[in-house]
Amino acid sequence: MKNAGIRTGAQYLEGLRDDREIWTRGTRVKDVTAEPGMGGGAASLAGFLDRQHEAAYRDIVTYEDAQGIRCAISHMVPKSKADVVQRGRAFYEWATWSNGMFGRTPDYKNASVMAFAHAPGFLAQGSKGQADFVQNMTRFYDEVRLNDRVLTHTLVNPSVSHAQATSGKFDEEVALHVVKETDAGIIVKGARLLATLGPLSDEIEVFPSTLLRADDSNIPFAFAFAIPIATPGLKMICRDSYDHGKSHFDAPLSSRYEEMDAVVIFDNVLVPWERVFMYGEPNLCNQAFAQTNAVVHMAHQVACGKLAKAEFMVGVMCAIAKATGRDKDLATKGMIAEVMLMAETVRALLFSAEQQAHEDQWGNFIPLRGPLDASRNLFPKMYPRMVEILQLLGSSSLMATPTEADFSNAMAGDVEKYFQLTHMDSRDRVGLYRLAHDIAVSGFGNRQALYERFFFGPPQIMSSVYFDGYDKDSKIARVEDLLAQA
Ligand SMILES: Cc1cc2nc3c(=O)[nH]c(=O)nc-3n(C[C@H](O)[C@H](O)[C@H](O)COP(=O)(O)OP(=O)(O)OC[C@H]3O[C@@H](n4cnc5c(N)ncnc54)[C@H](O)[C@@H]3O)c2cc1C
């Protein structure tokens, strides 16, 4: 099946059954696709990959390349504004399949690899190590695109001391660093945070943290590479699963979309030179995501996903208001309108970015960065507020949630009677509030909120970068102008 383009779900699942070293709940996992608390997420992603082949979605999420091979649109190099819009449509479609609750669909990383592989002048600046970085990245892009590989990534070194981290230094005991260079490649040792979808991916991209201080002491920490998860010496330690084996009725989201996060340990891992993309140059590493515009393409995918998620939150809230008859209540309408405004803000920013798409320095088209930066800085604040509003709307109903089993036991009559609403029978009401519970109360839901707060980076640093890049002078000039008229 090599180089056949989009894969089926079964092919993806088969690929996960290798020698990977995944640890959870104190034991090593034999088969991630069959592991309780992990296999459900893999099955959902397999279902999404299958959808790429279905007539209803195929032309939305895939394209045929020059050789007639059908690939995911996230790999398509945008050469016009229409291409950017088409990519956005595909990102949005993928996100609707989980209503944004499976955050790390493969199109996120695909967007980044596409950008890196089509900014050759950038990687060509790398002058250290025994590798042709441009050729390596081009080959990697083809490998991922033509085999529909699923990637995770890890960018952050664990910090032992906040003071050390903010001074741009890393601790050699824990941070991932190069320990040796050989003719075969580099040997790396240490840990990295945090690989979402790690145990359920084919490969891991280990890209530079964007906070390397550009001095010689940071050279061992400066690199970018990608290797299969099953590479000897690579281990993942998973967090607790939020999929507790419940039915889709009892846990509509956590039973389906447990994508898992893992800390990644590299125990003297050999990375072959042909998989190294940057090496030993902190300055180059620091510029990588911005200069290749990978950050813009990733932010595009993210904004599309957040729109789907925000719309879903509006849907859940409106369904609750309708069922309870509170859709005429002023306070309820006010709270839901706040969420509607958030969804429409993301939509407007996305539209603005796509409609102002332009050619970049590499001859590719990118959406306008400013609106996407606004969206990715705003959503980490919007989402926790959406959850709060859902808690306020749901109140004790989020606790009045008997299980599916209570509809077929000795309590069934009571449950049918006492859980009904004006506009909804008991079973539908319990199902709806169990969904709201999975968003606003469960471990799965709380992890979603944490994800939205942090997955794109530390919010203080993101907003500080936004502040630095914002055109402040023209605004200050207007203030000075007014004051000068005094
Ligand atoms: C659910 C989830 C999934 C994730 N998935 C991935 C993934 O797939 N790949 C990946 O690479 N990373 C992932 N991350 C990690 C994410 O990139 C980091 O959480 C984020 O960059 C913050 O880093 P940290 O967690 O080390 O927090 P820290 O850097 O320890 O920060 C702790 C707090 O201090 C603040 N802070 C940090 N530095 C400063 C500073 N200089 N000045 C002021 N305040 C500061 C932070 O904003 C935060 O509030 C994920 C995180 C979460 C929660």
Q: Would strands 70-72 and 62-64 be described as parallel, antiparallel, or unpaired?
A: antiparallel
The CA 194 to ligand 1 mean position distance, Å, reads 9
Q: Is 270 annotated as a binding residue?
A: no
- 203 and 223 in a single domain? The answer is yes
Question: Contact at 8 Å (CB) between 253 and 435?
Answer: yes
Count of domains observed in the chain = 2
Q: Which H or E element spans position 291? A: helix 282-291
Residue 212 has a pLDDT of 78
Q: Is 153 annotated as a binding residue?
A: yes
Residue 210 has a pLDDT of 65
- 23 and 116 in a single domain? The answer is yes
- 285 and 297 in a single domain? The answer is no
Is 4 within a domain?
A: no
Residue 160 has a pLDDT of 85
- 81 and 127 in a single domain? The answer is yes
Q: Measuring from atom 20 of ligand 1, which residue has the nearest CA?
A: 457
Residue 169 has a pLDDT of 78
The CA 15 to ligand 1 mean position distance, Å, reads 30
Identity (one letter) of the amino acid at 123? L
The CA 68 to ligand 1 mean position distance, Å, reads 41
- 403 and 333 in a single domain? The answer is yes
- 173 and 223 in a single domain? The answer is yes
DSSP state at residue 398: G
223 φ, ψ (degrees, to nearest 5): -170, 165
Mutate-to-test residue for ligand 1 from 105, 112, 193, 209, highest number of ligand atoms within 8 A of CB = 193
Is 43 within a domain?
A: yes
Is 25 within a domain?
A: yes
Q: Is 104 annotated as a binding residue?
A: yes
Closest CA to 131 of 230, 234, 226: 226
Closest CA to 324 of 393, 419, 437, 421: 421
Mutate-to-test residue for ligand 1 from 156, 236, 377, highest number of ligand atoms within 8 A of CB = 156
297 φ, ψ (degrees, to nearest 5): -65, -35
Ligand 1 binding pocket, CB closer than 6 Å: 153-156, 159, 166, 193-196, 261, 447, 450-451, 454-455, 457-461
Is 3 within a domain?
A: no
Identify the bridge partners of residue 72 per DSSP, sorted by sequence position. Answer: 62
Residue 163 has a pLDDT of 80
> Which of 265, 290, 315 is the last residue before a domain boundary?
290
Residue 168 has a pLDDT of 75
Mutate-to-test residue for ligand 1 from 151, 194, 212, 466, highest number of ligand atoms within 8 A of CB = 194
ipTM: 0.96
- 255 and 317 in a single domain? The answer is no
Q: Measuring from atom 4 of ligand 1, which residue has the nearest CA?
A: 455
CATH value at residue 235: 2.40.110.10
Q: Measuring from atom 17 of ligand 1, which residue has the nearest CA?
A: 457
Q: Which residues of the chain have pLDDT under 50?
A: none
Q: Measuring from atom 35 of ligand 1, which residue has the nearest CA?
A: 458
| Nearest atom of ligand 1 to the alpha carbon of 156 | 11
Residue 216 has a pLDDT of 84
Identity (one letter) of the amino acid at 105? T
> Which of 243, 271, 290 is the last residue before a domain boundary?
290
> Which of 290, 319, 348 is the last residue before a domain boundary?
290
- 217 and 72 in a single domain? The answer is yes
Is 423 within a domain?
A: yes
| Nearest atom of ligand 1 to the alpha carbon of 195 | 8
Residue 161 has a pLDDT of 83
**Both structure tokens of 434:** 């169990």
| Nearest atom of ligand 1 to the alpha carbon of 197 | 8
Is 1 within a domain?
A: no
Tell me the residue range of the domain where 44 lies: 9-290
d(CA 370, CA 186): 37
Residue 422 has a pLDDT of 84
- 355 and 455 in a single domain? The answer is yes
Residue 70 has a pLDDT of 97
**Both structure tokens of 420:** 């009904």
Is 33 within a domain?
A: yes
Residue 164 has a pLDDT of 79
CA angle 69, 74, 80 (to 5 degrees): 95
413 φ, ψ (degrees, to nearest 5): -60, -45
- 277 and 416 in a single domain? The answer is no
Residues recorded for the chain: 486
CATH value at residue 405: 1.20.140.10
Q: Measuring from atom 19 of ligand 1, which residue has the nearest CA?
A: 454
- 343 and 211 in a single domain? The answer is no
The CA 131 to ligand 1 mean position distance, Å, reads 31
**Both structure tokens of 22:** 């995944």
Identity (one letter) of the amino acid at 158? P
Is 417 within a domain?
A: yes
The CA 454 to ligand 1 mean position distance, Å, reads 5
Q: Measuring from atom 6 of ligand 1, which residue has the nearest CA?
A: 194
d(CA 359, CA 297): 13
Q: Strand, coil or helix: what is 273?
A: helix
- 179 and 297 in a single domain? The answer is no
Q: Would strands 276-279 and 223-228 be described as parallel, antiparallel, or unpaired?
A: antiparallel
**What sign results for the dihedral spanned by CA atoms 118, 106, 7, 96?**
negative
